[in-house]
Each structure stands twice: as C-alpha cells, then as structure tokens.
Amino acid sequence: MRLIARYAKELEDTFEIITVYEDETQREVVSKEHPHIKTLAKKHPAAIWFERKMHDDFGIIIEDAFDKRPLVHQERFPRDVHPLRKDFDKDTLQEAEYLPYKYEAINGDGVFQVAVGPIHAGIIEPGHFQFSQAGEEMLHLEVRHFYKNRGIEKMLEGKTLTEAKPIIERISGNESIAYQICWRDIYLQAAGQELPMALRKRHAFLLELERIIHHLTDLGFIPNDAGFGAALAYGSKLAEDARRKMQEFTGHRFGFGSIDFTNHFIDTASAKEWLRELENSIAFFEDWIMDIPSLWDRFDTTGALALQKAVKYDTVGVVARASGLSVDRRINDFYLQHGFVMASEVSGDVGARFKVRLAEVKNSLGMMEHFLEEDDTTLEIGNITDGSYTSFTESSIGELFMAIDIKDGLIERFFVRDPSFINWQALHIMMHSDIIADFPLINKSCDLSYAGNDL
Amino acid sequence: MIKFWNKRIKYGTLTENENLDAELAAIKKEIKSSVKKKFAGSLAIRMVDSGSCNACEAECNALANPYYDLERLGIHFVASPRHADVMLLSGIMTFNMTPHVKDAYEQIPEPKWVISIGDCPVMTAPFEKTYAINAPAENHLPITHHIAGCPPSPLEIMQGLLEFLRKI
C-alpha cells in the first residue's frame, strides 16, 4: 500500500493525524495534552519527514521514531515554538541560540565528510547535502532542506479560496499549472460543480505544456551535467520556444493566473503548426543524443534506483516510472481517450530517467494536439460549502496531493505534498555505487523542487 | 554527431536570426560597452536564492539560452561569491536562509553591489509576512538596484542590469 501523505490538523481539543494511502485514508485522534503517536517509518521510510515535520509544526511526539531531529526548524529557530498551532499568532521570530544539527555521518579510517550547500555553485535553489566519502566514493548522503520554508501553510489560513489562489500558484514556479489544477479541483468539489469538457481540455493542454517546458529544460541540463554542453544549447532553445508559447496562450511565461473558469482564445492553427515543428525538433534531438556513446557511458548504470527500493520509498513521478513503477495520475479515462501512454523504463538509472522524460515530451505533444479546440465555454461558480477536500494532479515532477479544510468559507487548514517531498527521501539510495562527481548528474536527472518541498 | 554539425551550419547563429526587436539589440550594445568600461570587460554575478519559487532562477538560466546569450556581453554567473562583483538576490528572504545570505554577501570582495530580482525581496509578491519570512531584503543587505516582475522576463532582466550599470 503506497503512502501518499501523513499530516496533522488541530481540532478543538485534539489533534487529528491523517494518513493518506493509495487506497484508503486513516484518521487517528490524539489529545492536546498528551499528543503521542507511533511512527510509520519502520514500514514506510518516507514517513519520517512527515512525522518530523508534524513534530516541528504542532509539537506532536513520535514515540518510537529512530530520528527525532528537527526538520523544518533549523539551528537558530526558537525552541518549543510550534507555528502551525492555532494559538501561535506571531509574524516575527527572534533568532535563538545556535544549536548544531547532528548530521547522519559514517565514521571510520579515512572516511571524511563533504558539506555542500545550502547555496550551490549554479543558478539553483538552496538546500544542503552532506556526504560521507571514502575517497571519491559516496558512502552516504543526507539531504537536508527547508531553507526556503516560507510558512505557506500558515499564510493561507483564514483566506478564501479565491484569495489563496495567487499564493498557491507561486508555491513552486515549475509546477504552477499543476498547483492551480489541484486548487481548481478543490474549488469545484466545494461548489459541487462539474467542469465543462472544453475547460478541462484547455487546462490539460496547459498542464502538458508546462510538463514539456520542464522536461525540455532537463533534457538539456542532464547532458550538460555530464559535460555535453551542446545538448543544453539545443534543449534550452526548445524550452524557450515553449515558454514563449505559454506567454502567448496565457499571458504569462509560467502560466501564473492561467487556470480559471473562462475559456480564452487560442489560435489552434498556429498552435498545431508549432506542435508539429517541435515534434520534428525532438525527433532530431533523439536521433542525435541516443548516438553519443561517451554520454551514455555516463548515463547508464549511474544513480540506479532498484524497483524494490522505489516501492519501499513510495516514490512517485518520473523517478518511479524510470524504475518500473506504474504511478501516474493521468491513468484515467479522460487522458487515455486523448492518447495518453505511460512512459516506463526498468533500469532506474540516469539514462532511464532521461528516456522517460523524452518519451513523455513526445506523448504530451500528441495529447496536446487532441486537447486543442476552439470553444468559449465559461463556468459560473456558485457558493461553496464547508468541508474537507483533497485532490491529485500529475505535475511535471510527479503526483501532487493537496488537502484543504474549509470552515465558514475560509481555509482552516492547508496542506500540500509536493512530489519532491517523497522523492528527495529516496535520493540517497541512488548514490551507493557512484562517485561524488556523479552527484550533480543524478540530482539533475530527478530534478526535484526545493520550493515545493520546503513550502 | 555529423548530423548535428550539418544542422548547426545550416542554422547559423540563432541569436542573430531571431527577429529580436531593435530594443534588445540596443540594450545588448549598451550593456557590452558599459561592462567594458566599468568592469574591465567582465561583470561577475553570484545568484543567491533566499526563498523564491524557482521562476526567477529559471529566467536567469534562460539568459544563457541561444536567444539571449548573456555571456557574450561579458556578464556571467559565477560559482562562488568570492569571484563575484554583484549579488543577484531572488526570493522572499526566509528566516532559515537569512544567515546564509549574509554569509555569502560577506564573502564578496569590495567593491560589491546587491541587485534584487523579482517581487519577493521587496514584498510586493502575493506572499504575506509570516513567522518564517524576514523580508524585505533591504533590512538585511544594502540593495543598489531592484528588477521588478513576477518573474521578470529575460529581456526585463537585461534591461534591469543595464539600468544598474547606468546607476553606478
């Protein structure tokens, strides 16, 4: 049973712990005076971040956890402050005394530690990686994040769904459309309305456009991290073309604010022409890149994630599909009718993730052609009803899960689990047979979000 | 590989073939000459993300694509603050990133400048102040210039860099 998320919410006198599995949702209630729960990490290793986060956010104690270190709260964070509790209302914090974080480290003769980050050498987001090295070989890696924690969950409390929208679409810039579609589904559930097919197709079109922009960027950056710069020039050119199309279709290069209930005009003829052009460019790219032995020498067998481990760590998205897992939120009638074919590889290495991205770009282009239509349907949204709502979307990284509780028309609790939150926890498994120089390549092949993870 | 070079020769230079407006051409010319005058031909930028959504980073990466090709103007992004003239600061300064951003700033040799990019560092993005946010960035660092936008497009970033070069 795949673990999707585990989070807490505060009720009147109790905390409710919600554990979402693929097939069922379990709820557990603990008292506020004595908030103790048992860990799930023995069965689902990826549960540990959820539980450590729960402790930081609410002060819930995980009795038998093997790892009780803080997760979101860093060295200078005030002790015994649990900001997601309703009685916490400060909007500034005083820096506390520096308390060192104890990294997971392997010790022994000649074994040394390499600390990388939080600020990295390229133009990328901040996060920390702590390596235990025996010469060039990586013995262990600890991923440590939450430098970018903006307190999004608390920020959204007390807002209406409409007020929350501009913030939700900016949680992770690369996945903006996916976040907006999760928001849309929750809004529609709360209003008890169905989305007209024309709007659904428009939104699906934009989601696939976002996916190909993200994948094209990676198809350039992954070879670049193996020292093959020409692919980056080619990939970034195609990505820029696609981003300009996003600007043309939505008025914004990242599609911020584009998922609404109005159908805007898309010039289908020129869009189709562009899709076909891109198809040709991709065919050329594939023919070229597959035939470079020195590149595939770096890609093949590097950063392998075995199927058993991919299952054990409950991975999602490109990472899971490259290891042979069938996890994709697009496996449904709507997508299948429009030509969706799930990309899949079995070797779980950098090469497999690269090929999955390539296959997904090609499949998305086909689907986008089917999604295109001229239609000016709009939808009026009625009043919303209070309740607990959840939704899923397949973002360019993987399965995105969002849960919103609405009370008196306002958000009572906002929770989102970015696909990165799960996949980051499996990253260290991929390092065991590789050298530290392969790390940037492996990391890029997964291309996970820091902002969506940290919230 | 031979196919690639054939295509490459047939294509020529994309940067010039693209129908870029005269404005971009003018900006590029002006940036090139002021970089030459003020920074002896090379302006080194250290990009630091203090809590963005990654869109500003994506746009800065786009500056290196064949359409914009910023590096040929003598402006390049460097790996260490110790190699930099300018810190390009994106994102809403978070509580957890504040000490690291200050560290990075201290590592830049004098003379040094900070350019903030995007609506986040000046708190004009939709994000509201929470316990985890220390923005605006000007409370922590001396900001010389600000490039507005959510996120600013590559062209706007180039314009912003030009305005900065005029300012100093």
Domains defined along chain B, listed by start:
14-167 (3.40.50.12280)
The length of chain B in residues reads 168
Q: Which residues of A fall within a CB distance of 8 Å from B60?
A: 123
If you average pLDDT over residues A194-199, what whole number do you get?
Answer: 88
pLDDT at B5 over 80: no
Binary contact (A148, B96; C-beta < 8 A): yes
Q: Where are the beta strands (DSSP E) in chain B?
A: 43-49, 75-77, 86-90, 113-117, 145-147
With CB atoms and an 8 Å threshold, state whether B4 touches A288: yes
A-B contacts at Cβ under 8 angstroms: 146
How confident is the model over A206-215, as a mean pLDDT? 94
d(CA A442, CA A431): 8
Can you tell me the distance from the alpha carbon of A127 to that of A47, in angstroms, rounded to the nearest whole number?
Answer: 20
* Domain range summary for chain A, segments of one domain joined by +: 3-144, 158-454
Q: Which of B48, B129, B153 sits opposite A253 (nearest CB)?
A: B153
- B45 to chain A: nearest residue by CA? A123
Condensed to tens digits (0 to 9), the pLDDT of residues A127-171 reads 999 999 998 888 899 999 999 999 999 999 999 999 999 999 999
Does residue A182 contact residue A416 with C-beta atoms inside 8 Å? yes
Are the beta carbons of A161 and A406 closer than 8 angstroms?
yes
Q: What is the pLDDT of residues A180-195, one digit of tens each?
A: 999 999 999 999 888 8
Residue-level pLDDT at B23: 63
Q: Which of B66, B130, B153 lies at the smallest CB-CB distance from A237?
A: B66
**Do residue A76 and residue B130 have CB atoms under 8 angstroms apart?**
no
| CA dist., res. A189 & res. A168, Å (int) | 17
Residue B31 pLDDT more than 80? no
Domain A158-454 maps to which CATH number in 3.30.1330.10, 1.10.645.10, 1.10.10.60, 3.30.70.141?
Answer: 1.10.645.10
Q: What is the mean pLDDT of residues A222-236?
A: 90
A173 pLDDT exceeds 50? yes
- Residue A411: Cβ-neighbour burial (10 angstroms; 0-12, 13-18, 19+): buried
Of A270, A190, A281, residue with least CA distance to A233: A281
Q: What are the chain B neighbours of A146 within 8 Å (beta carbons)?
A: 96
Chain A environment of B125 (Cβ under 8 Å)? 170
**Contact A151/B54, CB-based, under 8 Å?**
no
The reply to whether residue B52 touches residue A121, judged by beta carbons under 8 angstroms, is no
